[in-house]
Amino acid sequence: MTGDDVRMYGILPFTTRMTVVQLDSGGVWLHSPVRPTPERRRAVDQLGPVEHLVAPNKIHSLGITPWKALYPSATVWASPAFNKRHPDIAVDAALTNDVEAPWSGEIDHCVIDGHAVLDEVGFLHKPSKTVIITDFIQKHEAAGESWFWRGVKRMAGVLGKDGGVPVDIKLSVRDKTAMRRSMDTILGWDFDNLVIAHGHCLRGGAKEDVSRAFDWITGA
Ligand SMILES: [Fe+2]
């Protein structure tokens, strides 16, 4: 579900996407929730009650509080460092690798270790063979973008369908071995599709695409 456009670092234009999963329980799992407008809320309500809110890294905090206000019984799951950055947002459970969630039978997760700043958690929706990535892979739409930002995003490696891991993420790796281990885990998942928070998603062919995006660290 498309969210509002935002400005990263106050200037860089980003489109945003919330990933919505209907669980076997009949409840709804919201990944990287965007602002809940009446229209978005209606679309989510048609699928079922919101049971889980997921903040997949410490930057993506935007919709947690407003959705939690609408669905007070929803469980808030957040990346390992989220609470340190947002002590004002109540988190029910940190998404470490060993945590077992009620949705773990349908959705696998893996913390991408080894980055100096970002504590992203990747997900696999097993029934649809879809990997869900937030900031570690970006493929920003070129259409409608100014020549200036297209140029900046091309240089950052995040423009269009060939986008991948942003250069600023590549430049701030703390522990290559740990990151390689995480990316190997994700590449070992059984998936064909990719959903990301910023830009083009992929239906089919995602294993090859993610493998290419991660090859700077996996050496594949
Ligand atoms: Fe982001």
Q: 167-210: per-residue pLDDT in tens?
A: 999 999 999 999 999 999 999 999 999 999 999 999 999 999 99
Give pLDDT tens digits for 94-152.
999 999 999 999 999 999 999 999 999 999 999 999 999 999 999 999 988 899 999 99
What is the Å distance from ligand 1's center to 120 Cα? 10
What is the Å distance from ligand 1's center to 59 Cα? 7
Average pLDDT, the chain: 96
What pLDDT does 220 receive?
Answer: 61
User: Residue 9: which pLDDT band, with cuts at 50, 70 and 90?
Assistant: confident
* Domains of the chain, residue spans: 6-214
**Per-residue pLDDT for 55 more than 70?**
yes
CATH of segment(s) 6-214: 3.60.15.10
Range 12-23 average pLDDT: 94
3-state secondary structure the chain: CECCCEEECCCEEECCECEEEECCCCCEEEECCCCCCHHHHHHHHCCCCEEEEEECCCCCCCCHHHHHHHCCCCEEEECCCHHHHCCCCCCCEECCCCCCCCCCCCEEEEECCCECCCCCEEEEECCCCEEEECCCCCEECCCCCCHHHHHHHHHCCCECCCCCCCHHHHCCECCHHHHHHHHHHHHCCCCCEEEECCECCECCCHHHHHHHHHHHHHCC
What is the Å distance from ligand 1's center to 47 Cα? 25
What is the Å distance from ligand 1's center to 103 Cα? 23
